[in-house]
Amino acid sequence: MAKEAAKEDNTQEAAPAKSGKGKLVIILLIVLIILLLAGMGFMAFLLLKKKGGDSHGDEAAAAEKAKPAAEQHAPVAPPPVVVDPGKPPVFVTLDPIVVNLAPGEGERYLQVAIVLRIADQKFDAMLKQFMPEIQHRVNLLLSSKLPSELATAKGREVLAMDIRDTINEVLGYPPRPRDVQQLGPSGPVQAVLFRSFIIQ
């Protein structure tokens, strides 16, 4: 009898222990499911928000296209450059540049000293402010040229116009088509002059 009572006590003690572990597992599963659902809801919210922003952007672009050309917003043009013929010319000297030319015709390099003629002294400060970008863009332009492109006076003249247009573009003055440029350059840099031009 005592053995049966002991077995009954052990069974009663094991049952609550199993029942407590089972409840803990169920609670953990419920918490995990809630966290999973919350995470999925948050991701769905972000995706819908992103998709809603894109569709709004598409609607705005479609509305912009539907407007007549006169009503569409054009980029703000920089103020026109006015040259006063009564003032003496202003020149800005760039640091000498040495670049490897395009490798299509063998290993050659270009050493060039450039002087810029600018429309007014007030643009000198603007040039200095943008000088790192100007040097970078001019280096890229020069290193893209083949030696044969620069061998003639015409080739150097075209290069001077390319450098002028590149610098004016950095300063916020997009270049006009070359056939319109006969009226004069559209930006602060009026001309690019080569003090020295050596291809080796």
Going residue by residue through the chain, which has 200 residues, state the pLDDT in tens, using 9 for 90 and above: 555 555 555 555 555 556 677 888 888 889 889 888 888 888 777 777 766 655 555 555 555 555 554 444 445 556 667 667 778 889 999 999 999 999 888 899 999 999 999 988 888 888 999 999 999 999 999 999 999 999 999 999 999 999 999 999 999 888 877 666 555 667 899 899 999 999 99
Contacts made by residues 145-152, CB under 8 angstroms, sequence distance 24+: 145/101, 145/102, 145/110, 146/101, 146/102, 146/104, 146/105, 147/101, 147/105, 147/106, 147/108, 147/199, 148/105, 150/101, 150/110, 150/197, 150/199, 151/199
CATH superfamily ID and name for 90-199: Band 7 domain (3.30.479.30)
Question: What is the pTM assigned to this prediction?
Answer: 0.58
pLDDT attached to residue 142: 94
